[in-house]
Structure 1
């Protein structure tokens, strides 16, 4: 039930949902002045949420800073959270915009910073297919010549809460002790690290996939952008998710 409610809440909080409602209200409004007000609010919100300057500043304030690991220390495992792949039209799977999570996990293993790569990800869709991200990622790890003996897979989780609980059980089963490196996108790290620590999993944040840019202002940031809308959706989801988890005692 919590999983379904979280999906519904996320949809209701997406920026375009507000704009769509205002435009719908303008369409049905009979009063001319009220119709104009709804239209202006809708256009204003659309520009606000499509403005890269604003969302990039929020993103840089929210994102967790890059990790500073102890020199020459090897950690037992890199916990790589799913969300970097999905099923394609043939159901075979493909990498997505967050593929840097997978790449960083492989690099950590290849450079000897971790012994194991643990991929945690199932299928988080409301109407899931047979595609399991963790199982698919195992084939990609083998293709990257990561030894099978260094791969741990959890492919049943649907969200970050389940990532944490199922990962904890898997690590205990294999006798691996922390601290572990938690690898996920910078925008997702603040919430996920809190959840893992709340579950009693000793993690060190290892953020990647920074999407906010360098910080230098460019006039292009003031031009409406579909990418900015996507970023707002991402960060609103993370902020609301953190608040909900805090209130419910989950993180």
Structure 2
């Protein structure tokens, strides 16, 4: 139920939903004073959430950018979300592919003994159509990574299940700590909280930075449609963090 509700209600936390709602109220409201207020609210929200300056400022506060030292680790736990299903039922790398790149890089460079890929299928309508971590195992063959050094967790659908099922997998295979947690920078804070509550001590290895790393420029103060989509990820993470903390 928790998983299904999170998928259905997520649309209501997106800034574009708030903006459209404010403009619709302005259009259909009969009271002139309220109409102006709704219109100004819509313009303010559109301006705020489309300016990279505000988004980058928030990202610098939210993102966890800690990097580990050069010692060897027991495993790199790579969270899913970097692979998507194509129209033929196969897989392809999406915008979060840096999770896979950095995890594989850690293994190839000898900094971790095991690679742990955690991710099943989060598709509500077709839950068994594409298993991300199973697809990953096939892709890894092209990188000459030994199958014995790869552990696959293919049941999880969200971050909470990532943590719970990975904890069992590590224990079942007697993989000793310390562990590196590899995920997108915007997703790291919630992931750390979730793994901590699941009893898995991890060290953050952030990647896939989508905001907060750009230098200040004139473009930072020009509206950008892409910034709206970035806010969606950060707001989702903030609400998810609060829910996971209370849950």
Task: State the TM-score bracket (shorter-chain normalisation).
Answer: over 0.9
Alpha-carbon distance in structure 2 between the residues aligned to 1:55 and 1:185: 16
Structure 1 counterpart of 2:206: 207
Q: Does 1:2 align with 2:12?
A: no
Partner residue in 2 for 1:162: 161
TM-score, normalised with respect to structure 1: 0.93
Write the distance in 2 (CA, Å) between the matches of 1:111 and 1:13: 40
Unaligned runs of 5+ in 1: none
Contact 2:68 2:203 in 1 (8 A): no
Residues 81 and 183 in structure 1, CA contact (< 8 A), matched pair in contact too = yes
Q: Which residue of 1 aligns with 2:219?
A: 220
Q: Deviations over 1:75-131 (max 9, x none)?
A: 111100001111112221111111110001111100111111111011112223501
Alpha-carbon offset, residue 216 of structure 1: 2.1
CA contact (8 A) 1:84 1:101 kept: yes
Alignment-derived partner of residue 85 in structure 2: 87
Structure 1 residue matching 2:204: 3-state secondary structure: strand
Question: 2:29 maps to what in 1?
Answer: 29
Moved over 4 A (4+): none
Distance 2:41 2:89 in 1: 41
SS in 1 for 2:209: coil
Question: Aligned residue for 2:231?
Answer: 232
Residue equivalent to 2:137: 138
Task: Please give the alpha-carbon distance, in whole angstroms, between the structure 2 residues aligned to 1:233 and 1:128.
Answer: 24
TM-score, with length taken from structure 2:
0.95
The answer to whether structure 1 residue 106 and structure 2 residue 100 are counterparts is no
The match for 1:12 is 12
Preserved contact between residue 52 and residue 228 of structure 1 (Cα < 8 Å): yes
CA distance in structure 1 between the aligned counterparts of 2:222 and 2:77, rounded to whole angstroms: 38
Task: Indicate conservation of the 8 Å contact 2:55/2:212, yes or no.
Answer: no
Structure 2 gap ranges (5+): none
Q: Does the 8 Å contact 1:178/1:201 carry over to 2?
A: no
Q: Give the 3-state SS of the residue equivalent to 2:37 in structure 1.
A: helix
- Residues in 2 aligned to 1:175 and 1:64: alpha-carbon distance in whole angstroms: 28
Aligned pairs, number: 246
Shift of 1:35: 2.6
Q: Distance in 2 between matches of 1:126 and 1:36?
A: 40
User: What is the distance in 1 between the residues matched to 2:181 and 2:213?
Assistant: 24
Which residue matches 1:197?
196
